[in-house]
Amino acid sequence: MPELPEVESLRRILVRSAVGRTVVAAKVKEARLRRMVTPDLARAIAGRTIEGIGRRAKYLMIELSGDHLMMVHLGMSGSLTHRRGDFDDAAFDARHDHVEFTFDDGSRLVYNDPRRFGLLKLVAHAGVESIVELKGLGPEPFAKDFNGEYLWRVSRGRRGAIKNLLMDQGIVAGVGNIYASEILFRARVRPSRRAGRVTRAELARIATITAEVLREAIGSRGTTFRSYRDSQGQPGRFASKLRVYDREGQPCVECATPIRAVVIGQRSSFYCPRCQK
Ligand SMILES: [Zn+2]
């Protein structure tokens, strides 16, 4: 599943290749995504120029002329690829190319999604604050207001596991399952610890390391599991840097103790019983 680093990597690629291009035609071949693509999307987007591309949590925010935004969420298996002359179409199954935008230079931006859990939605810039998908999202992990003091404040009295707190999108936007395990390993905090019992110093560490791990993952274009490919059809490389995730029974990179797996909040979690308290 694409997480924040994958979406941010994609944003950076598209900023270089697609900003300044004008959509001359759009085609919705399959509207049944997680939310139905509205029937007027193709018509409403044609003629608009891409002026910039932002990101909020795992949503790409494609800024269009005429004060509109197209929000794109990749769901479980979506990809958005800018296909130019040298693009290898064989990397994607054409049956899952659901939405296609043709640009003024003949290149195409294609939304492909085998499992159809994604979302494409055109919204007016003015109403962006009230968009239901964005309401209630916590700060971005790179924002100044996401820090140890903030985590301290929101975790007091919380009985749930610290890992669930980190994955709560209302607390911090964009930390998924893989990265939560990695962050807690580096912070030396056990994922099952009650959030309200994690100390101020540990929370400060967790906040700093959250940004650090996500930055590293962005630098590696994210983590590839199963079929995820970025906008250029390339896999992410962060998988080779994972220290605990999916390493049950393998020796800890710090102390050689076998890594353990535990289910927390219905998600697999991995930790070193010796390094993490
Ligand atoms: Zn260890």
Number of structural domains the chain divides into: 2
Could you read off the pLDDT of 108-120 as tens digits, one per residue?
A: 999 999 999 999 9
What distance in angstroms lies between residue 210's CA and the mean position of ligand 1's atoms?
Answer: 19
Order the strands of the 97-103 sheet from edge to edge.
23-28, 97-103, 108-112, 79-83
Do 169 and 102 fall into the same domain?
no
Catalytic-role residue among 2, 5, 141, 191 = 2
pLDDT at residue number 104: 97
**Residue 160, SS3?**
coil
Catalytic-role residue among 51, 215, 267, 273 = 267
**Is 28 a residue whose pLDDT tops 50?**
yes
Could you read off the pLDDT of 240-251 as tens digits, one per residue?
A: 789 999 999 999
Q: 107: exposed, middle or buried (C-beta count within 10 Å: 0-12, 13-18, 19+)? A: middle
Are 277 and 198 spatial neighbours (Cβ–Cβ below 8 Å)?
no
- Whole-prediction pTM: 0.87
What distance in angstroms lies between residue 271's CA and the mean position of ligand 1's atoms?
Answer: 8
Do 169 and 98 fall into the same domain?
no
What distance in angstroms lies between residue 190's CA and the mean position of ligand 1's atoms?
Answer: 11
Strands 260-264, 267-271: pairing kind = antiparallel
Give the domain extent around 209: 148-271
Are 221 and 237 spatial neighbours (Cβ–Cβ below 8 Å)?
yes
Report if residue 136 sits inside a domain.
Answer: no
**CATH classification of the domain holding 64:** 3.20.190.10
Do 112 and 192 fall into the same domain?
no
Q: What are the percentages of helix, strand and coil residues in the chain, rounded to 5?
A: 30, 25, 45
pLDDT at residue number 191: 98
Could you read off the pLDDT of 56-97 as tens digits, one per residue?
A: 999 999 999 999 999 999 998 898 999 988 787 777 889 999
**Mean pLDDT, rounded, of the chain:** 91
Do 85 and 167 fall into the same domain?
no
What distance in angstroms lies between residue 272's CA and the mean position of ligand 1's atoms?
Answer: 5
Q: Cα–Cα distance between 92 and 206 in angstroms, integer?
A: 37
Report if residue 138 sits inside a domain.
Answer: no
Average pLDDT of the segment spanning 217-245: 71
pLDDT at residue number 226: 43
pLDDT at residue number 233: 57
Do 156 and 220 fall into the same domain?
yes
Report if residue 135 sits inside a domain.
Answer: no
Single residue among 104, 130, 156 that ends a domain in this structure: 130
Single residue among 102, 130, 158 that ends a domain in this structure: 130
What distance in angstroms lies between residue 227's CA and the mean position of ligand 1's atoms?
Answer: 31
Residue 245's alpha-carbon distances to 30, 176, 182, 200, in angstroms, are 35, 12, 7, 25
Amino acid at 104: D
**Is 235 a residue whose pLDDT tops 80?**
no
> Is 100 an annotated catalytic residue?
no
pLDDT at residue number 230: 55
Tracing tokens 């975790």 back to the chain, one arrives at 155
Average pLDDT of the segment spanning 28-49: 91
What distance in angstroms lies between residue 184's CA and the mean position of ligand 1's atoms?
Answer: 12
Could you read off the pLDDT of 119-166 as tens digits, one per residue?
A: 999 999 888 878 888 999 999 999 999 999 999 999 999 999 999 999
> Is 144 an annotated catalytic residue?
no
Catalytic-role residue among 55, 58, 193, 205 = 58
Q: In the chain, pLDDT over 90 holds for what percent of residues?
A: 77
Radius of gyration for the chain, computed over Cα atoms and rounded to the nearest angstrom: 20
Listed in order, strand segments (DSSP E) in the chain are 23-28, 50-56, 59-64, 68-73, 79-83, 97-103, 108-112, 119-124, 260-264, 267-271
pLDDT at residue number 225: 46
Average pLDDT of the segment spanning 205-230: 79
Amino acid at 58: K
Report if residue 188 sits inside a domain.
Answer: yes
Confidence of residue 3 (pLDDT cuts 50, 70, 90): confident
Residues with CB under 5 A from ligand 1 (ion): 252, 254-255, 257, 272, 274-275
Order the strands of the 68-73 sheet from edge to edge.
50-56, 59-64, 68-73, 119-124
Q: How far is CA 225 from the centre of its chain?
A: 14
**CATH classification of the domain holding 254:** 1.10.8.50
Do 152 and 259 fall into the same domain?
yes
Report if residue 277 sits inside a domain.
Answer: no
Do 175 and 124 fall into the same domain?
no
Are 98 and 116 spatial neighbours (Cβ–Cβ below 8 Å)?
yes
Catalytic-role residue among 3, 6, 8, 202 = 3
Report if residue 102 sits inside a domain.
Answer: yes
What distance in angstroms lies between residue 255's CA and the mean position of ligand 1's atoms?
Answer: 4
Report if residue 174 sits inside a domain.
Answer: yes
Do 79 and 167 fall into the same domain?
no
Report if residue 79 sits inside a domain.
Answer: yes
Do 55 and 103 fall into the same domain?
yes
Do 84 and 178 fall into the same domain?
no
Are 221 and 202 spatial neighbours (Cβ–Cβ below 8 Å)?
no
